[in-house]
């Protein structure tokens, strides 16, 4: 137990000795003081002055809490570690020449401050050259091993550390430069050049040389900025480097005259000064050296420091590759070119006439200077708008014009992504569109175009979209009852700008048409044709009409399928969907209210008409699909039937010739002499029913010829034979009428 008590007492006593080193002994220091130098040794702030410093003269020792030394002196401290209690200031007055900091080895353990009081002549300023150290400004609350502080006219200009970009500081009137060095740290004896220069108007001028690498530097306006005072920064920027200025925080005082509110004033060589308020974007991506000045106003009254002028800003310098495009857009083309960054966060920078923008608009008739920095081609998109106007019919009636864009400003960076043509025709005209490179295909918004170009047709006012279309389809013509429309060509893969010079569509202005929209369609066998009402998937405008003229080749018929139909509720007349053939003018289908749509097989070219009601509740929209079917099977049956009949007739004629030849060989034709009138009357009565025989001649009896032909031949004779009536005469001499006899011969075929 006694051992434990002794150990605890020893530990407590040791801790007490460490906490109050001034009570554990004494220290003796011999201090050498140069001429013109003053050394002040003071008790550190917050320390209890229990340790004394004593000046030991030859006869009497004087002890106190602080001392001022101007010559060599021997000091005694009443504690063994006075560096924990005292701080040291080493002061030089009236400095107008070069500064060479000198260490006092006896005081190296102390926290010490080297102070140089600057006193230029009244008509001069002092230039402090820090090219060997380089300073960087820090916030008033920040610190580093060796801190430089600069004050002018009792105003703190700033706190600085070594190894920065500030190479020189000019000060006017009386000032003070100080260097704080931590205890135990050796003094960095870097030379500071001092020279006299012309008198300046500002409190201080900072000369900054930015490094040849990407960098960001912080700068601060002086604390407690005096009224009407000014501070200047001179920035030297390396070649091919561009600077950005960003204000991170600021406060401005209440000025006696509000129009004199503090501003940032920039000056580049050969340019007019640029003045910016604190609350707006500052210059960006600027090349070359420049000056920046901040000037305070005359304040309306005493204000606390927190409400005075304070500015914290950054200067960023980046090496950039630059592209420049300068020119004029022809006024006659009525063009607008929009240049836009795809990603606002990318390193690419666009500037129009020295103003940084993420989207730039260049208009016809204006001179422009467009600069781009670190911009790859695919980082920038171009949208081109061209207005084509025709006010008088005599200038454009019924004439087709190609839609092309003559891109002359090849130096503008980026990928041409969208071209917009705004067509303005004469009043009450219609627009007719066709594709010179082949028919168009309707492309619903949910489908992919699978082409490098997608066309969107819409009304200029009120911006209603007619639909999207792709190349290589079945729509031959689009007619719109509107004098102002917009055609947007969106390019999905535009590696060749020359594509823009090829006609995308042809347009013409025509007289007013009967429907709001008319599509002329020629379906093909390879793929179904998809059609949809204007503005799909939105509904048609109230009371609007649309018509599709569907042309079929004679050998085809079509299957019309209604894939998706949405009917609104109408107050009065209902919507109408009608299908009518073109050649025969037959109505194949006409909708009735709430009737379910059915697929149709249409045998020829036809019209498909739709009309929305006047005040619909809900959307009227429809999507259709047309599929062709080969109609040659029916025609082939007709042709084969005709061929079959012809073959039967040819065969019958052949058989007749064969049989006729046989009859001539076996039973030659018989000429029958007419009996006297009595026999003739009997014959007439017997043959009254045969008066309808061919050639309507009265028939004469003939011999039975069944012994000459077979029974089947007799049947054939009865089916294919007729009679020819004539007269027989005696050969060699004419006969009288009584002697002449009538005869008939059976003719078989």
Which pTM does this prediction carry?
0.63
Asked if 67 and 75 touch (Cβ cutoff 8 Å), the reply is yes
User: 535 by DSSP, 3-state: which?
Assistant: coil
Mean pLDDT, residues 407-426:
83
What is the rounded distance in angstroms from the CA atom of residue 73 to the CA atom of residue 87? 17
Cβ neighbours of residue 224 closer than 8 Å, sequence gap 6 or more: 155, 156, 305, 308
Cβ neighbours of residue 434 closer than 8 Å, sequence gap 6 or more: 400, 476, 477, 478, 505, 506
Asked if 373 and 285 touch (Cβ cutoff 8 Å), the reply is yes
Instruction: Report how far apart the first and last C-alpha atoms of the chain are (Å, whole number).
Output: 158
Q: What is the pLDDT of residue 593?
A: 63
Q: Beta partners for 224? A: none
Nearest to 616 by CA among 586, 599, 636, 593: 593
Cβ neighbours of residue 461 closer than 8 Å, sequence gap 6 or more: 484
Token code pair at residue 714: 């007799």
Q: Helix 632-666 and helix 711-720: axis angle, to 10°?
A: 120
Question: Is residue 15 scored above 60 in pLDDT?
Answer: no
What is the rounded distance in angstroms from the CA atom of residue 580 to the CA atom of residue 606? 5
What is the rounded distance in angstroms from the CA atom of residue 517 to the CA atom of residue 478? 7
Higher pLDDT, 702 or 362: 362
Domains of the chain, CATH where assigned: 26-162+169-194 (2.60.120.290), 210-320 (2.60.120.290), 322-512 (2.60.120.290), 514-632 (2.60.120.290)
Mean pLDDT, residues 576-602:
87
Mean pLDDT, residues 22-41:
81
Token code pair at residue 202: 């500002």
Mean pLDDT, residues 79-90:
91
Q: What is the pLDDT of residue 564?
A: 92
What is the rounded distance in angstroms from the CA atom of residue 58 to the CA atom of residue 55? 10
* Predicted confidence (pLDDT) per residue in 156-181, tens digit: 999 999 999 999 999 988 889 999 99
The separation between CA 277 and the C-alpha centre of its own chain, rounded to angstroms, equals 32
Side by side, the strands of the sheet bearing 367-373 are 322-328, 367-373, 349-352, 355-357
Q: What is the pLDDT of residue 504?
A: 83
* Predicted confidence (pLDDT) per residue in 607-632, tens digit: 999 999 988 899 999 999 999 998 65
Q: What is the pLDDT of residue 661?
A: 59
* Predicted confidence (pLDDT) per residue in 115-143, tens digit: 999 988 889 999 999 998 899 999 988 98
- Mean pLDDT of all residues in the chain? 80
Asked if 426 and 396 touch (Cβ cutoff 8 Å), the reply is yes
What is the rounded distance in angstroms from the CA atom of residue 664 to the CA atom of residue 659? 9
What is the rounded distance in angstroms from the CA atom of residue 183 to the CA atom of residue 145? 10
User: 355 by DSSP, 3-state: which?
Assistant: strand
Nearest to 435 by CA among 399, 390, 470, 384: 470
What is the rounded distance in angstroms from the CA atom of residue 470 to the CA atom of residue 447? 11
Phi-psi region of 133 (alpha: psi -120 to 50; beta: other; left: phi over 0): alpha
What is the rounded distance in angstroms from the CA atom of residue 424 to the CA atom of residue 487? 11
* Predicted confidence (pLDDT) per residue in 181-229, tens digit: 999 888 888 889 999 999 999 999 999 999 999 999 999 999 888 899 9
């Amino acid at each position: 137990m006694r051992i434990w008590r002794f150990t605890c007492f020893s530990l407590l006593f040791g801790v007490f000795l460490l906490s109050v080193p001034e009570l554990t002994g004494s220290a003796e220091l011999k201090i050498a003081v140069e001429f013109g130098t003053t050394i002040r040794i003071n008790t550190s702030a917050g320390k209890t002055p229990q340790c004394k410093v004593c000046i030991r003269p030859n006869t009497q020792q004087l002890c106190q809490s602080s001392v001022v030394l101007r010559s060599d002196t021997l000091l005694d401290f009443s504690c063994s570690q006075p560096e924990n209690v005292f701080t040291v200031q080493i002061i030089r007055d009236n400095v107008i020449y070069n500064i060479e900091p000198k260490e006092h080895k006896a005081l190296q353990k102390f926290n010490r401050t080297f102070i140089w009081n600057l006193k230029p002549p009244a008509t001069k300023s002092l230039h402090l050259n820090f090219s060997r150290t380089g300073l960087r400004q820090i916030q008033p609350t920040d610190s580093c091993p060796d801190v430089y502080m600069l004050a002018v006219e009792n105003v703190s200009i700033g706190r600085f550390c070594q190894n920065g970009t500030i190479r020189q500081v000019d000060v006017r009137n009386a000032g003070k430069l100080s260097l704080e060095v931590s205890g135990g740290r050796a003094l960095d004896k870097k030379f500071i050049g001092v020279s006299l220069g012309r008198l300046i108007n500002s409190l201080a001028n900072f000369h900054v040389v930015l490094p040849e690498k990407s960098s960001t530097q912080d700068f601060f306006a002086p604390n407690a900025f005096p009224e009407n005072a000014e501070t200047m920064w001179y920035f030297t920027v390396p070649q091919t480097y561009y600077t950005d200025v960003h204000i991170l925080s600021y406060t401005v005082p209440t000025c006696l005259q509000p129009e004199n509110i503090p501003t940032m004033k920039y000056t580049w060589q050969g340019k007019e000064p640029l003045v910016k308020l604190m609350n707006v974007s500052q210059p960006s991506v600027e090349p070359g050296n420049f000056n920046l000045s901040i000037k305070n106003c005359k304040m309306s009254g005493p204000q606390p420091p927190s409400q005075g002028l304070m500015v914290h800003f950054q200067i960023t310098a980046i090496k950039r590759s630059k592209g420049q495009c300068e020119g004029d857009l022809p006024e006659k083309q009525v063009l607008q070119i929009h240049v836009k960054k795809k990603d606002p966060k990318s390193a690419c920078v666009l500037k129009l006439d020295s103003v940084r923008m993420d989207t730039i608009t260049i208009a016809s008739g204006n001179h422009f200077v467009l600069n781009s920095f670190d911009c790859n081609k695919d980082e920038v998109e171009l949208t081109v708008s061209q207005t084509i106007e025709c006010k008088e019919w005599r200038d454009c009636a019924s004439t087709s014009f190609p839609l092309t864009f003559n891109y002359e400003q090849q130096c503008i960076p980026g990928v041409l992504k969208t071209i917009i043509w705004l067509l303005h025709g004469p009043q009450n005209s219609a627009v007719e569109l066709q594709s010179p490179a082949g028919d168009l295909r309707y492309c619903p918004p949910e489908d992919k175009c699978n082409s490098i170009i997608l066309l969107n047709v819409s009304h200029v006012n009120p911006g209603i979209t007619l639909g999207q279309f792709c190349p290589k389809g079945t729509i031959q013509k689009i007619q719109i009852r509107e004098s102002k429309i917009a055609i947007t060509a969106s390019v999905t893969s535009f590696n060749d700008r020359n594509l823009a010079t090829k006609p995308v569509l042809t347009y013409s202005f025509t007289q007013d048409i009967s429907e709001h929209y008319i599509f002329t369609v020629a379906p093909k066998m390879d793929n179904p044709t998809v059609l949809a009402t204007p503005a799909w998937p939105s509904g048609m405008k109230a009371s609007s009409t649309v018509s599709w003229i569907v042309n079929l080749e004679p050998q085809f018929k079509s299957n019309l399928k209604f894939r998706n139909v949405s009917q609104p509720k109408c107050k009065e007349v209902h919507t109408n969907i009608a299908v009518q053939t073109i050649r025969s003018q037959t109505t194949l289908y006409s909708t009735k209210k709430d009737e379910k749509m059915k697929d149709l097989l249409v045998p020829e070219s036809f019209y498909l008409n739709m009309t929305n009601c006047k005040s619909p509740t809900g959307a009227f929209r429809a999507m259709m699909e047309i599929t062709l079917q080969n109609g040659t099977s029916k025609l082939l049956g007709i042709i084969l039937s005709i061929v079959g009949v012809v073959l039967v007739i040819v065969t019958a004629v052949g058989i007749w010739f064969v049989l006729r030849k046989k009859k001539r060989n076996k039973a030659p034709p018989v000429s029958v002499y007419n009996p006297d009138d009595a026999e003739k009357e009997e014959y007439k009565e017997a043959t009254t029913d045969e008066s309808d025989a061919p050639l309507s001649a009265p028939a004469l009896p003939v011999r039975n010829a069944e012994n000459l032909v077979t029974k089947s031949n007799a049947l054939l004779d009865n089916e294919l034979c007729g009679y020819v009536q004539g007269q027989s005469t005696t050969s060699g001499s004419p006969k009288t009428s009584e002697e002449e006899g009538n005869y008939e011969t059976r003719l078989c075929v």
